[in-house]
Structure 1
Amino acid sequence: MNSRNFARLTQYLYDTIGIRLPDTKKTMLEGRLRRRLQTIGLDTLDGYIDHLFCGGHLATETPLLINAITVNKTDFFREPGHFDYLVETALSSLAAQGVRKVRAWSAACSTGPEPYTLAMVLDDHARRCGGPDYAILATDIDTEVLATARAGIYPIEMLDPVPAAMRRAYVRVPSDPDRREARIAPELRSAIGFARLNLMDDAYPVGEPMHLIFCRNVLIYFDKPTQKKVVSQLIEHLSPNGYLFLGHAESVHGMDLPIEAVSSTVFQRTGVARGCRQVAASALQAV
């Protein structure tokens, strides 16, 4: 890919999904696009740029381009301290506020381990402590990982971090020992709504304010202005005294936001910034 086309593509990606790719990432980007080229029968990356921008395929090709280049590393019970805080502190605080149904949002859910972990923790807490009920929204920009998440089928070894009692309660293992995969229990799958959402959009159509928002290990791919824009919009959809969970490598230091740190990369909303913009949930693109 020549330098002009690389610059054009990376600027488009920055404008669309907020990820800035420097010249040092050129080889990585080219490698991730090779399979896409093979799929659509193109020989060169420069030909792909023409296909994208000059061939009238921009609208239909953009989601597939995003699928090809996004990183989707995820695990069950990743950063377990967050879930300890959720059970030991956050849920008790929400119950004391009179919350009877916890609304949670996994804002970059990838293939699904994060929202399913949330569902396990919330359901287990409800069983042991008598409530509250819960509903989870799980969104991502990548349509392929959303399809995987909705199916809820994973290699058995990927479920190793799930505590044994929760595996017994929430994971369905096939009777055939040669099938090295398992499926999340239907009652958890039905508690989660999956939809496509781009965090770079000007509005997030997620409906009512959320008590819990998990947006972890996403901000690290954005520059500071984009980080502040995204976090500010997430806060607008956080209920008063609701909780925002970020990745352990992420920081909002110096952003002057209406949240305060209450634990390691856990923040609580302290005031109403500009009001929660209500947008009909039906506007989300379900998968």
Structure 2
Amino acid sequence: MSEPREQPAFAAGGWSSSGAMERDLELTDADFTRIRELIYRRAGIVLAEHKREMVYSRLAKRLRHYGLTRFGDYLARLERQPEAREWEAFTNALTTNLTAFFREAHHFPLLAEHVRSRPGPIRIWSAAASTGEEPYSIAMTLAETLGSRAGEARVVGTDIDTEALARARAGIYPLEQVHKLEEARTRRFFQRGTGRQAGLARVRPDLRAMVELEPLNLLAPGWPLKGPFDAIFCRNVMIYFDKATQARILERFAPLLKPDGLLFAGHSENFSYITKAFRLRGQTVYTLA
């Protein structure tokens, strides 16, 4: 799971002479409160009061899909069908996805140093895989570091957003995004699109084979994956959870990490005062306490 999904270029609805958006769908204070409660229960995401316009713009498409004009009717429809697939669309719409290849670049040399001399197959968990840039960056680092051993390494990427995971599985990205990488990496790990695929680049099959991508809700009572992992990346996700939720997730990470494994956090996240399970090693990297 990654920070906010890109907004449409033009918001739905017109604009008044005062500059305020003229909404064609009804979103009451009570509706917004219900949305905040539902996404918290479903995904642990804490939506602040100032996110109202974002909520409106992201969920408006779902209302129009069903021909509805009131958010209250859409929410009632959701709550009548607790197992409906629409919950997935609701969660996807409110999930944040801002990522890039080798984001927070200082983590990857640390990862390389950590895995270089470790015995046995290396396993890394990317707990907020989003559209795939993070797990593929991890896989590139392993391929560059481990040499012939890289074929045994595995990166498990999970995310609550199924639409983002579908893009990650495809492994296709705009060429300008890939060109931000060093030329050697671009040539080694990507195929350039031609014809109808011009302007795009695809992750090469050998790199994609190192990455397993599966849906996972960090709030789910059970996680369908087994440790231990040499490292866990959970970056820029915890900032969307409250402290109690952060503590529960961190405590569940601990038994899935090898005794000398590393937990990588985002630049604005500090776990030192949330749990006693981890201690800060430095540069937003943690080890088991």
Which residue in 2 is equivalent to 1:114? 134
Are 2:127 and 2:157, in contact at CA under 8 Å, matched by a contact in 1? Answer: yes
Alignment root-mean-square deviation, CA: 1.8
Per the alignment, in what secondary structure is the counterpart of residue 96 of structure 2? Answer: coil
Given the alignment of the two structures, is residue 210 of structure 1 paired with residue 210 of structure 2, yes or no? no
Equivalent position to 1:163, from 170, 179, 182 = 182
Are 1:51 and 1:57, in contact at CA under 8 Å, matched by a contact in 2? Answer: no
Equivalent position to 1:46, from 50, 72, 84 = 72
TM (norm. structure 1) is 0.86
Given the alignment of the two structures, is residue 131 of structure 1 paired with residue 149 of structure 2, yes or no? yes
Which residue in 2 is equivalent to 1:273? none
TM (norm. structure 2) is 0.85
Aligned residues: 262
- Residue deviations 1:35-68 (CA, integer Å, cap 9, x gap): 11122222221221122123x3653211110111
Equivalent position to 2:63, from 24, 28, 37 = 37
Instruction: Report the CA distance between 1:153 and its aligned residue.
Output: 0.3
Instruction: Report the CA distance between 1:159 and its aligned residue.
Output: 1.1
| Structure 2 Cα separation of the partners of residues 236 and 218 of structure 1 | 20
Larger deviation: 23-32 or 181-190?
23-32
Are 2:39 and 2:45, in contact at CA under 8 Å, matched by a contact in 1? Answer: yes
Are 1:110 and 1:145, in contact at CA under 8 Å, matched by a contact in 2? Answer: yes
| Structure 1 Cα separation of the partners of residues 234 and 130 of structure 2 | 11
| Structure 2 Cα separation of the partners of residues 6 and 151 of structure 1 | 34
Are 1:210 and 1:238, in contact at CA under 8 Å, matched by a contact in 2? Answer: yes
Which residue in 2 is equivalent to 1:78? 103
Are 1:77 and 1:161, in contact at CA under 8 Å, matched by a contact in 2? Answer: no
Which residue in 1 is equivalent to 2:19? none
Instruction: Report the CA distance between 1:259 and its aligned residue.
Output: 2.3
Which residue in 2 is equivalent to 1:285? none
| Structure 2 Cα separation of the partners of residues 208 and 28 of structure 1 | 37
| Structure 2 Cα separation of the partners of residues 170 and 255 of structure 1 | 38
Larger deviation: 142-151 or 58-67?
58-67
| Structure 2 Cα separation of the partners of residues 41 and 177 of structure 1 | 34
Given the alignment of the two structures, is residue 179 of structure 1 paired with residue 198 of structure 2, yes or no? yes
Instruction: Report the CA distance between 1:162 and its aligned residue.
Output: 2.1
Question: Structure 1, unaligned stretches of length 5 or more?
Answer: 271-287
| Structure 1 Cα separation of the partners of residues 276 and 97 of structure 2 | 28
Equivalent position to 1:64, from 84, 89, 95 = 89
